[in-house]
Structure formats: structure tokens, C-alpha cells
Structure 1
Amino acid sequence: MSRNDLVELAKRRGYFFQSAGAYGGVSGFYTYGPQGATLKQNVENTWRERFQIREGHREIDSPTVMPEPVFEASGHLDTFDDMLVECPECGESHRADHLVEDNTDIEEAESISIPDIEDLIAEHELVCPNCGTELGGVPVEDFNLMFETNIGPGDSSPGYLRPETAQGIFVEFPQLAEYARNQLPFGITQIGKAYRNEISPRKSIVRVREFTQAELEHFIDPTEDVPDLDRVADVELKLYPADEQEKDDGDYVYKTVEEAVEEDIVHEWVAYYLGVGKQWYESIGVDMDRFRYRQHLAGERAHYAADCWDAESEVDGDWIEITGFAYRSDYDLSKHDEYSDDDFTIFKQYDEPKVVERATVDPDMSYLGPEFGGEAGDVAAELELLAERDRAAFEDDEVTVEVGGEEYAIPTEKTGFSVEEQKETGEHVMPHVVEPSIGIDRVVYTVLAHAYGEDEIEGETRKRLSLEPEVAPTFVGVFPLMEKDGMGETAREITEDLRAAGFDVTYDDSGNIGRRYRRQDEVGTPFCVTVDYEALEDDTVTLRERDSTEQIRVPIADLPDLLGDLREGETTFAELDAPAPEQ
């Protein structure tokens, strides 16, 4: 199935389409139609069940606009860039690393430096995709992807649309830690919109400017907390480590979660969530033959990540990132602790108090004030920090500290330096963060692409979406064979009863029964119920399964329970269709 086929099917069957089509459309923004919105919601709900409820985490909902200082602290204003090259002829902007990937054998150009990208563009004589102008010699520049706005009237309070939902969790950590009773580990999830001003949106909902993320921030004590690997130890992972990517003949490495940790291929916390992730992807219909975990190369790793692995799916010959699994260490919390007025640590109580030696200073401000004037306070603060990290600096007659790029020498006797024994009941811990960050739109795209198939039924080509029952937007279609002799009334009653039982049901009495089946097959509806003349006589109906097209007769009264078992995986259609064992 080509990308164009999927986009055409998605538009025709109400999954997704470009927004504002009446005004010519707007690049990078998509509307989910009736089928797509439900599929997306179902995918989100399965993610909540697996990553939140079963793991014992809690969810928040933070604003999509946040003030500028948040992103100064997080580093997004300085480092959240993509490589831009602008055509000197037509003015069209392109993402330079994508041009290289699309026109050379290089797969991961994002990790390459700007000077090397410029050399590759010249070497391969790459041209503007829009007008054909050669781009060799055209400068490549960093372009920040943040959407800027103003909070309130005027421009005195700049803000930004969040580029990830994660910062909405990190910035509220002090409050969230209180809700967790200051006990590590704990996890916070969030599903919501994020925004990135992409240079060149493409591949429909794969690379857009507004998208939905499902993120988990798991806060841990790096010295004590370990994952329960037994829960996923035997899950086999298809890994593409960085060292294999750098080889000419590099290949995949197949390891269980337990083996990947024991052989030091993946950090234990990241490995745990790779196992959880694989279970989830498989349950929603991602084809495991077209799925892998790829480790980030050093040059492409985000500024906050100590290590990162991407879950990638293959669609139409391309590998696309659908999830990032990062060990963010204490980068985010330490930055907000530094920039804000709040405390982003957890106080960990000792089982028993400890007696420790502490180096302290009590500077003689009657000396520092006249000697250093307005810098005296900063000099005192630097002395305090120096005593904490290097008490040996106070062994000489004079101590030197740096303030504002200048060095200041202070007689040691004026610092009030001393080493004292103190009793401590606990210590402040800066938690580390493990983060699975799922791109919901890309997962939806993958599920649709991997579900698509074609076969031949009665001499006709049939297109179908073999969606898993758990995520299919419509679970069952109900049809009267004909709208006469009470078949329509019975079919509508069944429809109402199934909806009351919690099923997403479509009713269709238009066209011949074969065409109705084909419509539901293409939409991805797993089961169809047909009311015929026999139903009027014995209160049974035909239940048809989408992929096999097999049909069985079942009592109308049994439909809710039977369909519920099928949806929950308690039974399969093949088991229902199997002949009863001989008595």
C-alpha cells in the first residue's frame, strides 16, 4: 500500500484529512474525521490502560501555553532547532537533513553537523524540490521550532506553545511531589496537544505542526529504585544499537529485556519500558515484522537525554519514529531548580540519623562589604558553594572565588571557615526521569498502514483494514437483509440494545448486503450482524467476521455477551465457529 493510497482511503472513509480545505488547506494541520477521531481516542485509552493504570501512575492536564522562563530553563530556546536551507530562487524552505536522506543512501542525517550537511548538498548536487534550483553553496541555518505568542495584551509577557507535554509535568514537580507524599518512585502521565513549527511538514499526519503526545515522566531515586524486570524479562526486543548502525554491515540484535540489561546494551529502566511498549504496540495491531527499536546516535540525541531509543515502524519503505524512550537523568528538574524560586528535590528520610562532617563558612561582612562593595553578597555566596565542594581550598592563607568573570581573593581568616559535626535525619535527592514519549498521530498512521490489506472475494478485489477489535472505531455493523417484513425493526432494536451494552455500532440498510459488507471491511469493522427471514422465525442472526468472511448463526439474546467476549479477547471467532466436540 502506497502512502497516497492510505491518505486517499483515510479521507474517503473519514479517518483524517488536511484542515481548512475550503480555504486551500494549511500545511501541517489535520482534522480527524468521525472514524479517525474514535480510532485515535481508542489508541489513547489503550495507552492509558497499559502505561498509566497498570503501572500505577497518575495523569494531569497542563496548559498548552507556558511563559518564556520555562523554556529558557528547559533549554528549548537555545537547542530546539532543525536545519533549514532556503531556495535562493523560489524562497521555499526545506529541512536540509531530510533533503540529504531523501536523495542519498544516508538514513539518519539529523546527527550530522551543519558544515557536513552543506558539503553533502554540494557533493550530491541536490536541488530545490519545488523549482529545481541547485542548493550547493546555499547556507544551512538552525531554525527554532517553537511557536511564540504573547500572554495578555502587548508584548511584555512572551510565551510559547509547548513543543512537548513533558515541561507541563516538570514545572509542576514541587506540587506533584506533595501529592505523592514525597515518596519515590512515582510517575505522572499526560496526553495532549504539542506544537512544532516544522520547516517542511510531510507524510500527512507523520510530520505535522500540531500533534498529540502521550508522555510518561517516571521520577526515580537513581541510587535505590530499580524496575521490576520480571514483569517483562522474556519479552524479545528487535534492537538496532548505535554501534551496529555505524558498521557497514551492521544488523539487528535480538535480545530479551533481561538479556539486553545483563549485556549492558540498554539502561535497565529504558529496557523495562521497551518491554512494556512492545506488548502495547503488538496489542493495538502494529506489525512486529515491521517494527524495531533504534538507539539514537550521539549527534542526534536530544540535549536532555543521557540515552534514547526510538520505537520505529516501517511504512511504505520508510522507517518512522513513533516513540522515544529516554533516560533524561536529572537534567530537567535541576534546570528548573536552578532557574525558578522553588525546590525540585525530594527529602529522603534516613532510617536512623547520621552524624556527618560539614564544611561551613560565616564570612566577616564587615570586611567583605568595604572591600568588595556591591559584589560582597555574591562573594559570600560563592564562598559557601566552594566550602561544600572543595574544603581543601581553605587550607591556604587566602581563598579565591570567581564572580561575574572576575576573581576575588579573601583572607581565609575572614571567611569564617570551619568543619563541624552535624546530625542529619535525611538528605535532599534530585530525582532522575525515565520518559516514554509516544506520538499518537504516528501510532494511528502506523496502525492504519499495517492493518491495510487486499484480497479477492467472489472475483472482486476487496480492500480491508484488519484493525484490532480493541481500537477499531466501529465494533459491529448491523444490517437488515431487506427493509421489509419486520427485518428493519428487528435490526434497529438489536442496534439499540448493543449500543446500550457499550458497543460502537453502525446501522446500514443501503444497497445490497455484499456492498454493505465491503464498506465495513474497508472501514475496519471487525464484525457484522445480519437480520434475515430466519431471524424472524427463530431469533437467531448471522454473525460475520471481517478477515475470514466466515459466518455463523447465534441467538439474538446471546449477542451482547458473545461480542463482549470477542472484544476482550476471552474467545475468538474461530473458536465460536469450531464444531462442538462429540459427546
Structure 2
Amino acid sequence: MSEEGDYDLAELAKRRGFFLQSAGAYGGVSGFYTFGPQGASLKDNIENVWRERFTVREGNMEIDAPTVMPEPVFEASGHLDGFDDMLVECPECGESHRADHIVEDNTDYEEAEGLGPERVGEIIAEYELVCPNCGTGLAGQAIEDFNLMFETNIGPGSSSPGYLRPETAQGIFVEFPQLKEYARNQLPFGVTQIGRAYRNEISPRKSLLRVREFTQAELELFVDPEDGEGPDLASVADVVAPFYGVDQQEQDGGEPLELPVGEAHERGLVADPWIAYYLGVAAEWYESIGVDMDRFRFRQHLSGERAHYAADCWDAEAEVDGDWIELAGFAYRSDYDLSKHDEYSDEDYTVFRQYDEPVTVEQPTVDPDMSYLGPEFGGAAGDVADALEDLAAEDPDAFRDAAEDPEGDGTVTVEVGGDSHEVPVEQTGFAVEEVTESGEHILPHVVEPSLGIDRALYTVLDHCYREDEIDGEERTFLELPAAVAPTTVGVFPLMDRDGLGERAREVAADLRERGLSVAYDDSGAIGRRYRRQDEVGTPFCVTVDYATIGEARDEDEGEPGTVTVRERDTTAQRRLPIDELPETLEALRDGDLAFDEL
């Protein structure tokens, strides 16, 4: 969209109540937005359509976790040490900026975040980049890591630090020990959550596209990494989407490949079947809410972008205002998250995998002689015993080799607190026993589709923005799908007299009782009322006229007891019996009936 178009969309969003910067009465604060009546409804509808597709239809569970969580959660997850952006400060005006954004905005580098601070600093110097605020050169300025989490205290004082969650996923991961019980320990199972997340962005920008408070919709699917069944890939195999893989990105002038999801997986472009499945589901879902699929693509993360624990990662991206923005991420996170919480917490994050048949295995064990370890190692004796147990599980041959080596001293060595301790094998009680096992405990792997609701909303507004001319008059309208439009139907009296207003209000009330979102308007000329509803994306309007109340003034006004139903995009109109109105509007909203079928 052009800069003029972008201005018109931002102006429309504020004027018609989609979104506006928060706390404007106090000067506003960057990175925070209030959704107005139209925006809140559109946002709720997008969330509900996501919930229906990713939770209900997939048979997943949904939870709602707190937005504030204690510090140990983020210590385990790695957010305390690794959730940083690159900050550069202007030496003249003191304004802080994202160093990678300055590079991306002023050079041909599209994904500077993955280059690292040192290389970004070199590019700033090479291109002689300047502060966007005052124009002062930034070459040579230190680029520092800035942690994006908002810190708070839980309770009085500072003894219990906490953080506003930077993602909703950790609220699912920390509750896994209980969630697996709800799922009867049967893999795979999925858990979804829609909720607010917070990131203290260095330089919020581009309206809703980079903010400090936003809504995420995430699915964490827990799978057995050795389960060969996988998803029902056939159900989305024929969904065609643009795949912008690593090879295409690294080619000069490389373009995305338009492929069916099934073929993209068969080629190995999307290696993991679960990732391929959710890319197919997401492509259909984005199209259903109004995203222009000619301005949409799936982009594979380059090696420098991908998290160290992610085997593969793809982003859903859309072109907005001339830039490609990330809408969602699809990552195979392996067992990283659960293993961290299993290590740091006192809970068990494993799931028991039942074997098809019991198996007999050799199990190394130790039974250290504490009457020897106590006098020999004093207060460290218990830790030495634990270390011997770990060594037997990890490297039982160390005990065998020490006992059988004629030239050795017959000891094994363990590390405790950075110190090495030698223990005679005969004092360890090492033995190998045959045991019959019916299964084993495993750490599930995680497949994660994670979507930003705010960015989806902004993209839908941008992609559905239309301008045309009706009867010689310019018209602005939003071609929103009926399923997500803030209002389903506008109800108008032809004029507010002769009982038309009272009957129109009755019609509006009846439709609301049926669960339809209704706007009633009797102000101004009927054409202007249509335009107001067009501008906020209302797909249908109903006009109550004299034929509705059985007082048609001429034979062309319609049958008694009928209303006029108008469709937004074509402005076509049909007469409909008033007693058929609720069912017809429901069918039109749900996609079970097309307007031209009336």
C-alpha cells in the first residue's frame, strides 16, 4: 500500500474506532494501543476463528495462565540471559534505537537481527548510518544487549522478583506435569492459549506491528519423537502456498516456490511433517480471515536466525506497507523447553512410553559402601555417592575397565564441585542386573505454531482496504469476511417516522437475540448510512421501509412483510421476507449461503 494509503488506513482506524494510541490525554505512550469498539470486536472475532480452527477442530485443550510469572521460570527457559535486542544510543540526542532496525531500514540487509552485534556495528560504520532522530553518525557507538522483559515484584519488597511474560508459551510448559495427566499421558496432545504478552521494545514503530503489549495465540503440540504416525497431512496436502526456503533466499533474485503442502514436504523443503501440516492449516486460516494470499508467503529461517534448539523454523509473512512482516512462527523446538523445566524444577516432565512387549535389559547399579565413603570424603560423601550413581548410568564401562585393568589402580574418578575424587571399584558396589521393563520415560518434543493477533488484525485491515466509486461518489470500504467483521448487519429504517423506526428497532433486537452483531442507525440519508457501515466492513445492511409494515406507497416498493438486504462489496440488493431474515443472515455469515443465491 502506498504511503497515502497507509495514512488513510491509520486515519480510518482512529476515526472509526479500530485502534488508537493509548493514554492520548496524557501525551500517549509508544508501543501501547487501545482497541476501540470496532477493533475490539474484530480482534475477538479473529481470536474466536483461530480458537475454532486450532483448538476445537484439532481436539486440543486450552488454558489461561497468568501474565506475571516468578523469576525461576525465566531462568529455566533462558529468557533472563538470552532474550535481548541490539541497542545503540545516539551520542548527541541520547535516543536509543534498535541497531538491526537501523541497518534494515537503510541498507539491503533484510534480516540483520541474525548477524550479531559485531557485524551490525561494522555495517553501521561501513554505510555511515546516522541517528533517525537527529542525524548524528552512529559509527563506533557501542552496541549492547538489552533484555526485553518487564520486571516487577510479587508481593511487598523485592524478595520475590517476577516478570511480565514475554510469550504465552512458558505458561503452558511450566504446567506440563498436570497437563499430561489431563491428557492421560497419551501423546500427541496439544495445548493452546490466547493471551497478552509483553516486550519492552527499544523502539516501537509501525503502529500495531511492533508494540510493547500484544496478544499471542499459541499452540504447543507435545509429540513422541519416535512416533512414526505423524499428522493427517493428506487433509492439507493440496493447499498451495508460496514457500521461500533457504535456497531461494540465498539465490540472486530468488523467488518463493508456489507448491502444494504435500509436495513441499515430499521434496524435503519442509522436512518435518507436523510443521508441514500446520503450514497448510495456517495458509487456509489466513485466507479465511481476509489476508491477500498474493501478498503472503512462508519463509524458512536462515541458519543465523534459528534458535539453537530449533531443528527447523518457518515464518508466515505478509507484505504490508511495502515491507514483509512476520505474522506467525512455526518451530520444531525438540525437547528443549521441557528438559529445562525438568532440570530446574522439582517436577517430572517426562511421559511414560509403553513398549509393545516387555523387554529384558541390563541395568548397571551402584551400592556405595558409606562406611568407606564417609571417613574418606567427609561432608562430600553423599555427593560422591550421587556422582557414582550418575556415572554408572552414563558410562558403566568405566567401572568394568577399572576393575579389569591389570595395570590400573582399580579406581573410578568422579567430579564433585569441581574436585576429582577417586573411589575403588570394590567400594562402589557396582553390579549389572537383568531387569524386565514395560516401557520408558521420555521427554516429549514440541511443535509450536505461534501467531500474533495484533499483526493479523493490522494485516487484515490493510489487505481488505478498498476504494471505489458508486453513483459518481467515492467510497472507502473494508472487504472483511463476514466471519470476522466487527458487525454482521446494519439495520436502518428508511426514515424515522410513520412507525418505520419502531419496526426497525424491533428487527434489530430480534437479530441480536439470535446472536448476530447488529448496528442500528437512523441518522442522515440512507446512502450515508450505507457508507458508514461499508467503511467499518459490515457485510450486510437491512432497510425497513413501508413495504415492511404493509404500507407500500407503490407496487415497486416490494411485497408486504419484506425488507431490503444489501451486500457491501457489490452494493447489490434483494427483497427478503422478514420472517426468513435471521436464518438467512446466519447462513450468509457462516458461509453456508452466497448472496447471489438469494
TM-score surpassing 0.5? yes
Question: Superposed, which structure 2 residues align to 1:220-235 within 5 Å?
Answer: 220-224=223-227, 225-235=229-239
Q: Which AA in structure 2 matches 1:478?
A: V
Q: CA deviation at 1:468?
A: 0.3
Q: Secondary structure at the match of 1:363?
A: coil
> Paired residue for 2:96?
93
Q: Which AA in structure 2 matches 1:514?
A: G
> Paired residue for 1:501?
514
Q: Secondary structure at the match of 2:258?
A: strand
* Distance in 2 between residues matched to 1:157 and 1:233, nearest whole Å: 50
Q: CA deviation at 1:404?
A: 2.5
**Pair 1:206 & 2:219 matched:** no
Conservation of the 8 A alpha-carbon contact between 1:79 and 1:303: no
Q: Secondary structure at the match of 1:535?
A: coil
**Pair 1:294 & 2:299 matched:** yes
Q: CA deviation at 1:463?
A: 0.5
**Pair 1:362 & 2:384 matched:** no
**Pair 1:451 & 2:456 matched:** no
> Paired residue for 2:341?
336
* Distance in 2 between residues matched to 1:3 and 1:84, nearest whole Å: 28
Q: Which AA in structure 1 matches 2:449?
A: P
* Distance in 2 between residues matched to 1:118 and 1:34, nearest whole Å: 44
Q: Secondary structure at the match of 2:306?
A: coil
* Distance in 1 between residues matched to 2:377 and 2:241, nearest whole Å: 61
> Paired residue for 1:270?
275
- Distance of aligned partners of 1:160 and 1:303 in 2 relative to their CA distance in 1, 3 Å threshold: farther
**Pair 1:133 & 2:155 matched:** no
> Paired residue for 2:172?
169
Match of 2:220 among 217, 220, 223: 217
**Pair 1:349 & 2:354 matched:** yes
* Distance in 1 between residues matched to 2:120 and 2:299, nearest whole Å: 22
Q: CA deviation at 1:398?
A: 2.2
Q: Which AA in structure 1 matches 2:133?
A: N
* Distance in 2 between residues matched to 1:304 and 1:480, nearest whole Å: 61
Deviations 1:376-429 (A, max 9, x none): 222222222222122221212221222223322222222221111001122101
* Distance in 2 between residues matched to 1:198 and 1:517, nearest whole Å: 41
Q: CA deviation at 1:180?
A: 1.0
> Paired residue for 1:579?
none
Deviations 1:64-115 (A, max 9, x none): 1111000000001111111110111111110010100000111111111111
* Structure 2 unaligned regions, length at least 5: 403-409, 551-559
* Distance in 1 between residues matched to 2:224 and 2:471, nearest whole Å: 62
> Paired residue for 2:317?
312
Q: Which AA in structure 1 matches 2:573?
A: Q
Matched residues, percent identical? 72
Deviating more after overlay: 18-27 vs 373-382: 373-382
Match of 1:460 among 473, 478, 484: 473
> Paired residue for 1:386?
391
> How many pairs align?
576
> Paired residue for 1:187?
190
* Distance in 2 between residues matched to 1:118 and 1:179, nearest whole Å: 50
Deviating more after overlay: 192-201 vs 4-13: 4-13
Q: Which AA in structure 1 matches 2:333?
A: R
Q: CA deviation at 1:262?
A: 1.7
**Pair 1:259 & 2:263 matched:** yes
Q: Secondary structure at the match of 1:5?
A: helix
* Distance in 2 between residues matched to 1:57 and 1:524, nearest whole Å: 31
Question: Superposed, which structure 2 residues align to 1:59-98 within 5 Å?
Answer: 59-98=62-101
Q: Secondary structure at the match of 1:198?
A: coil
Q: CA deviation at 1:487?
A: 1.4
* Distance in 1 between residues matched to 2:427 and 2:11, nearest whole Å: 78
* Distance in 1 between residues matched to 2:109 and 2:301, nearest whole Å: 15
Q: CA deviation at 1:303?
A: 4.6
* Distance in 2 between residues matched to 1:44 and 1:170, nearest whole Å: 21
* Distance in 1 between residues matched to 2:308 and 2:36, nearest whole Å: 36
* Distance in 1 between residues matched to 2:22 and 2:313, nearest whole Å: 33
**Pair 1:561 & 2:564 matched:** no
> Paired residue for 1:539?
561
Match of 2:245 among 241, 245, 248: 241
> Paired residue for 1:401?
414
Deviations 1:337-382 (A, max 9, x none): 0000010001122333221111111222222222222322222222
Q: CA deviation at 1:259?
A: 1.5
> Paired residue for 1:27?
30
Q: Which AA in structure 2 matches 1:12?
A: R
Conservation of the 8 A alpha-carbon contact between 1:3 and 1:203: no
TM-score using structure 1 length = 0.97
Q: CA deviation at 1:7?
A: 1.5
* Structure 1 unaligned regions, length at least 5: 577-583
> Paired residue for 1:321?
326
Q: Secondary structure at the match of 1:14?
A: coil
* Distance in 2 between residues matched to 1:57 and 1:82, nearest whole Å: 33
* Distance in 2 between residues matched to 1:248 and 1:34, nearest whole Å: 46
> Paired residue for 1:115?
118
* Distance in 2 between residues matched to 1:341 and 1:251, nearest whole Å: 49
> Paired residue for 2:554?
none
Q: Which AA in structure 2 matches 1:173?
A: F
Q: Which AA in structure 2 matches 1:296?
A: H
